[in-house]
Amino acid sequence: MEHQRKVYQRWAPIYDRVYRGLLRDSHRTVAKLAAEAGHDILEVGVGTGLMLPYYPKQCRVTGVDLSEHMIAEARKKVARDGLDHVVALHVMNAHRLEFADRSFDAVCLPFVVTLIPDPERALDECARVLRLGGEIIIASKLGDGRGIQGVIEEAVAPLVHKVGWSSAFRISRISEWAERRGNFEVADIRRTFPNGFFKVMRLKHRPASV
Ligand SMILES: C[S@@+](CC[C@H](N)C(=O)[O-])C[C@H]1O[C@@H](n2cnc3c(N)ncnc32)[C@H](O)[C@@H]1O
């Protein structure tokens, strides 16, 4: 976690210039899907707030991030661009979300789930703060471990880790989490720019039938 904080302290001033274009398609897709699930939205790992302008204005968005330096950039963006739909930004660890149960209609994790030391624990937290029938929406480089791409992803993983990314995270890790819980279904997996390199995954909460 300390490693992540240090890496993103260095990234904070230049992150937008490097990633805005590369992540735009995924960001737009996630924000649109979240807004379709409802207006109260939590964004985990909000970073510099690159995705914040893409939520429709009627949303009420709360963002959290481990890095105070990334959050500081997000705060500047919200003030500068008048993003009034952003209601709060907090420094917070995805492992322990300081919100009451069933607070949000959608919880988004754009380009963060693969970086969290215990992603299942973070997903449990997302599930806890989600309302009945809500959605968890994840965007990341999610591989299936197959073929030459799987071999390359494993090989470059230590290198990629140094710059605060992850390459070897398997999509099955998330679907297995959903299966184990029994009350989430994988509703959709979309391939996004560039050429399906990133994926957006929608997990829908299935309330227990009475
Ligand atoms: C690759 S950046 C993505 C930022 C933003 N979501 C985006 O798509 O542009 C990853 C972000 O996740 C944050 N992060 C890493 N581990 C975290 C954790 N355990 N809890 C909350 N945020 C975390 C980092 O500080 C960083 O801002």
State the DSSP string of 95-141: TS--S-TT-EEEEEEET-GGGSSSHHHHHHHHHHHEEEEEEEEEEE-
Homologous superfamily (CATH) for 2-205? Vaccinia Virus protein VP39 (3.40.50.150)
Helix (H, G, I), strand (E, B) or coil at 60: strand
Delimit the domains of the chain by residue range: 2-205
CA of 210 to the centre of ligand 1 (A): 38
Decide: residue 165, CB within 10 A, 0-12 exposed, 13-18 middle, 19+ buried: middle
Atom of ligand 1 nearest to the CA of 26: 8
CA of 37 to the centre of ligand 1 (A): 22
45 Cβ contact partners less than 8 Å away, ≥ 6 residues apart: 64, 65, 66, 94, 109, 110, 111, 112, 115, 116
CA 178 from chain centre, in angstroms, equals 16
CA of 47 to the centre of ligand 1 (A): 5
Measured from CB, residues less than 6 Å from any atom of ligand 1 are 4, 8, 19, 23, 44-47, 50-51, 65-67, 70, 93-95, 110-112, 115-116
CA of 80 to the centre of ligand 1 (A): 21
Q: What is the H or E stretch that residue 88 is in?
A: strand 86-91
Distance CA 72, CA 45 (A): 13
Preceding omega of 194 cis (within 30 degrees of 0): yes
CA of 51 to the centre of ligand 1 (A): 12
User: Regarding beta strands 184-192 and 198-205, do their DSSP bridges make them parallel or antiparallel, or are they unpaired?
Assistant: antiparallel
Q: What is the pLDDT along the chain (210 residues), one digit of tens a residue?
A: 888 899 999 999 999 999 999 999 999 999 999 999 999 999 999 999 999 999 999 999 999 999 999 999 999 999 999 999 999 999 999 999 999 999 999 999 999 999 999 999 999 999 999 999 999 999 999 877 677 766 666 665 665 666 566 667 899 999 999 999 999 999 999 999 999 989 999 999 998 764
pLDDT for residue 150: 66
Q: Of the residues 10, 28, 66, which should be mutated to test ligand 1's pocket, given the most ligand atoms within 8 Å of the CB?
A: 66
pLDDT for residue 84: 98
Distance CA 176, CA 202 (A): 14
Distance CA 8, CA 69 (A): 7
pLDDT for residue 162: 64
Tokens 């904070």: give the residue. Answer: 12
pLDDT for residue 2: 86
